[in-house]
């Protein structure tokens, strides 16, 4: 894995020949999500789009004649902010109608409007978190359990994994064990106390993940993890919330 290179707003880390991770190092760590760019043979994949404070599309290095499929793993603000910048927008069927308005009650954008220390660096002179809004980004494809996102040489199966949010989905390459987890699971403190979170659903998701043959997982936050580490995270959550 390469070193992170930080530009004016985004940080980039080359994970391997196919995978680059982008982050927004100057936003509050509560909403500092991972953005994953994965290169396929016939199409590229972008998993989540960050806060949308600065334009993301110019940061994505994809040939102009190659489709870029953008998947939102759920509708929370730190994962959909720049979704409107891209023409091929896929997201969970459960929340599909809300992408047409990006209502702040659903995205939780209002939390960022009032967040102390929202950014450690101004993206532009005079910018304030109180003015932050997420433009509508109607989905061009809805995704549900069992659907396939096909890149030609790689096929990712959609898994509906609610708990953190009711609409949380993840992408799993069953042939290779590569897992884009969104906020279904990640190697950091899991958040299950948002207004739309559900601990019973999250526990069900964690039990399901215990049996998922993951080789390498890339989460919506925190560092990447292997299958053993994922099972440790899932087991710890189950123990913390009532036992395995």
CB 44 within 8 A of CB 37: yes
Q: Please give the backbone phi and psi of residue 28, each rounded to the nearest 5 degrees, phi first.
A: -50, 140
CB 178 within 8 A of CB 128: no
User: Which pLDDT band, with edges at 50, 70 and 90, does 1 fall under?
Assistant: low
% of the chain exceeding 70 in pLDDT: 100
Run of H or E residues at 216: strand 216-219
Average pLDDT over residues 22-44: 97
Which one-letter DSSP state was computed for residue 59? G
* Model-wide pTM > 0.85: yes
pLDDT at 166 over 80: yes
Which residue segments constitute the domains of the chain, with CATH numbers given? 5-240 (3.60.15.10)
pLDDT digits (tens, 9 = 90+) for 80-93: 999 999 999 999 99
pLDDT at 2 over 80: no
């Amino acid at each position: 894995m390469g070193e992170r290179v930080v530009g004016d707003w985004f940080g980039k880390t080359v994970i391997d020949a196919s995978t680059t991770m982008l982050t927004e190092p100057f936003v509050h760590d509560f909403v500092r999500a991972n953005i994953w760019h994965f290169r396929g043979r016939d199409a590229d994949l972008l998993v989540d789009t960050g806060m949308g404070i600065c334009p993301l599309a110019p940061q994505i290095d994809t040939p102009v004649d190659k489709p870029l499929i953008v998947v939102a793993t759920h509708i929370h603000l730190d994962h959909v902010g720049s979704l409107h910048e891209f023409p091929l927008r896929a997201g969970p069927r459960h929340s599909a109608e809300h992408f047409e308005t990006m209502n702040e009650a659903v995205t939780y954008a209002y939390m960022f409007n009032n967040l102390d220390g929202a950014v450690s660096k101004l993206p532009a002179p005079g910018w304030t978190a109180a003015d932050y809004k997420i433009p509508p980004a109607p989905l061009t494809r809805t995704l549900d359990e069992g659907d396939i996102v096909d890149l030609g040489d790689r096929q990712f199966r959609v898994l509906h994994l609610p708990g953190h949010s009711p609409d949380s989905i993840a992408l799993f390459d069953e042939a290779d064990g590569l897992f884009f987890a969104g906020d279904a699971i990640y190697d950091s403190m899991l958040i299950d106390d948002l207004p739309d979170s559900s601990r019973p659903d999250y526990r069900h998701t964690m039990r399901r993940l215990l049996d998922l043959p993951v080789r390498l997982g890339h989460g919506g936050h925190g560092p990447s993890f292997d299958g053993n580490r994922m099972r440790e995270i899932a087991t710890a959550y189950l123990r913390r919330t009532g036992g395995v």
